[in-house]
Amino acid sequence: MHEVLIAQLQAENEKLKRRVAELDHAVELHEWGTQLFHESDIPQLLLDFETGAILAANAAAQAFYGDALLGRGDIMCVCAEGLDWTRDIQPILAQNRYGKKLAHQHTALGEIRIVETHFTQIDIRGRAVVHLLCFDVTDRVRAQEELETSYNRYQAFIQLSSEGIWRNAMTEPIPIQLPIEEQIDLIFERSYLAECNMVYCRVWGARQQGELLGTFERERVAPDDPNHREMMRQVILNGYRLNNWLLTRRIPGEEDLYLLCSFQGIVSDGLLWGTWGVFRDVTELIRTQRALQESEERYRHFVQYANEGIWRFDAREPIDTQLPVEEQIRLIFERTYLAECNHAFARMYAVESPESLIGVSLAKLVIRSDPHNQAMLKTFIENGYRVEGFVSHERAADGSERYFLNSFFGVVEDGKLVRAWGVQTDITELRRLQQELDRAYRLESIGRLAGGIAHDFNNVLTAVIGYAELARGRVQDETILHYLDGILKAAERAADLNKQLLAYARRQVIQPAPMDLGEWLQGALDILRRVLPESVRLRTEIKPNLWQVNADSNLLLQIVLNLVVNARDAMPNGGALTIRLRNKTLRRAHTPNVPNGRYVLLEVEDTGTGIPLEVLPHIFEPFYTTKPFGQGTGMGLAAVQGAVQQLGGYIEVRTEMGKGTCFSIYFPRLEPPKSPKPTR
């Protein structure tokens, strides 16, 4: 019995030892748990599972939430989301013994912070308790939200952009120290598409990004494509950066695409890791530009090869259209300059190229003092800066005066005249021809009148001379004879004047015949010398083998004698008078007065005073003279012109003040008769 009792006591002792060890371990665990709970920097709470009441809070929790909130004893006083423990929280805890949840909670500072709560269900003495670890993740969550927002904006920017955007990555980075061509080969080998938007996909013929992402550069572009290789070469040469490179993408069977590309390489530690790129589809812009260039080229050809002068004048400073008309005209002359013109315009001003006129002011081209020009600009302003069919009087580079028919319009911006476009036609020759035609009509009328009067006057003179001669044969009185001689001399002078009238009217009776003008002139020299004083030297220049002409010797003498007398009167102090004869063929007539053909040219040239420019247009008009009253009838040159025309010829004059005058008379060659063809 005693041994059994001892064994039982030993067994109980062992149990007591184990229990003590367990209690010591429990105490140790409690001390560890208390230390982890109370001394931790992480806010911790113990809650009743059934009610959510706060059973315990460590110092960190008291600092974070504050005694005022924790003192209410209910965890829902901390919650800032309006939740209910039984309805919203308990079901979650019942389903998950462990877990975590984000919650918005009130803090001691009066802020609402985002707290990540890690929860664990534990049993303490048969009571269900919830242990909470509370982490303030407000800054992290907000940073995450900002990152997500930024990423979403970035994605929206890329995906909604009207430009193609992409990023290429490398399967293995490429050392940037390698030779350029080797780098280009490696880019084709290692570069693949890592990111792109839908615009990029559409340009490459893909319906969605997944069809292109991951594809290598060499799959999209041939490695030997010269355009792409040159583009990559420029990217490398420009420090792995390139802006606004025009890339042409050729698609078989379709029109070319034109892409304006920019690149930025991703370089780090001497290695190329990838590239960012963006392109804009400028196909329509390029086509429009080319169409515009073609249109401009057509316009340039049209303008430059037009027969009319086309011009643009710009104002160095805009001209206020509200200013008085006279002030605007003054400013137009002072401020406007030629900005553009064509070749026809340059030729109108005797200039070889349009470039020689660019920049010339309006005042140097248009004669400012001319009333017609002033009236043209006044009409331009008063008609809303538009004028049509107005004649201007202008001056060419060689000093000659020109007349142009103008139509032009002004460009007004913000109430100010900034430029004018116009077209003009040179009517100088047309105006001269019109004046010649008017003069011809006028002279023709005078000629008819003179011819009619001359015939009647000739009959009267014949009677006067006849009766005077009869009377002279019957009168012995010297005084009466003297009077009769005076009557005869006056009648003879009147008869000479009457001959000139008939010559001008081309109503003389002539007997043209083939003749050699050289032989005729040699025979007429004695008569010509009689009318010249010793101070005037007469010279002749007669070329050999002159062609024959059909002329009347008396009419020729009248022509040359009149010209010689005029030359004599133009050299009161003496000089030289030269008469020339030579053959002349006109293939491109230098004057419209003489048509192309073959002529014998007679020139009478003096070294006299010359003919003033204002007198020159009137020298062939009948009764026009610059000689003092009583010294000339004004019929000499008019009779010469009439006689030349009666012989089928043409007369021209050139003169220079102080140097002399030369009259040129073109007599048509008398063509020899063609020999008959021999008959068999």
Return the DSSP state at 359: T
pLDDT band at residue 96, thresholds of 50, 70 and 90? Answer: confident
**What pLDDT, in 10s, does the model give residues 573-588?**
889 999 999 999 887 6
Asked if the model's pLDDT at residue 511 lies above 80, the reply is: no
User: Sorting pLDDT into bands at 50, 70 and 90, what band is 508?
Assistant: low
Q: What is the mean pLDDT of residues 155-164?
A: 79
* pLDDT value of position 442: 59
Give the pLDDT band (50/70/90) at residue 282: confident
Does residue 497 carry a pLDDT above 80? no
Q: Which tops the pLDDT comparison, 506 or 190?
A: 190
| pLDDT, mean of residues 301-312 | 80
Q: What percent of the chain has pLDDT over 90?
A: 23
> Looking at the predicted structure, is the pLDDT value of residue 458 above 70?
no
How far is CA 187 from each of CA 67, 191, 219, 225, 605, rounded to the nearest angstrom? 65, 5, 12, 13, 89
Q: In 3-state terms, what secondary structure has residue 355?
A: helix
Q: H/E element holding 91?
A: helix 90-95
More confident residue, 477 or 320: 320
Mean pLDDT of 473-497: 74
State the average pLDDT over residues 162-181.
Answer: 91
Stretch 9-22: mean pLDDT, rounded?
72
Q: Which of 4-13, 324-333, 455-464, 608-617 has the lowest mean pLDDT?
A: 455-464
pLDDT at site 389: 85
Range with the lowest mean pLDDT among 33-42, 188-197, 367-376, 625-634?
625-634
Q: How many CB atoms lie within 10 A of CB 40?
A: 14
DSSP letters along 478-508, please? HHHHHHHHHHHHHHHHHHHHHHHHHHHTT--
Using a pLDDT cut of 70, give the percent of the chain over it: 86
221-250: average pLDDT: 87
Q: Maximum Cα–Cα distance for the chain, whole Å? A: 230
- pLDDT given at position 145: 86
Own/partner long-range contacts of 648-657 (Cβ < 8 Å, ≥24 apart): 648/550, 649/599, 650/593, 650/594, 652/591, 652/593, 652/594, 653/611, 653/616, 653/619, 655/610, 655/611, 655/616, 656/610, 657/609, 657/610, 657/611, 657/612, 657/613
Q: Give the pTM.
A: 0.41
pLDDT at 680: 47
Tell me the average pLDDT across 122-136: 85
User: What domains sit in the chain, N to C, each tagged with a CATH number?
Assistant: 40-151 (3.30.450.20), 161-285 (3.30.450.20), 305-426 (3.30.450.20), 432-504 (1.10.287), 513-668 (3.30.565.10)
Mean pLDDT of 273-302: 84
Residue of 85, 77, 95 lying closest to 50 (CA atoms): 85
Kindly tell me if the per-residue pLDDT of 24 is higher than 90.
Answer: no
* pLDDT recorded at residue 589: 54
The pLDDT of residue 50: 85
Q: pLDDT per residue over 64-80, tens digit each?
A: 888 887 778 888 888 88
Position 506 confidence tier, pLDDT thresholds 50, 70, 90: very low
pLDDT at 154: 77
Give residue 206's pLDDT band: very low, low, confident or very high (50, 70, 90).
confident
What's the chain's average pLDDT? 82
Question: Left (φ > 0), alpha (ψ -120 to 50) or beta: where does 126 sit?
Answer: left
Contact between 571 and 608 under an 8 Å Cβ cutoff? The reply is: yes
- Is the predicted pLDDT of residue 322 greater than 90, yes or no? yes
Nearest to 208 by CA among 159, 260, 261: 159
Q: Is the pLDDT of residue 246 over 70?
A: yes
17 has pLDDT over 90? no
* 30-39, 80-89, 143-152, 445-454, range with the lowest pLDDT: 445-454
> What's residue 630's pLDDT?
47
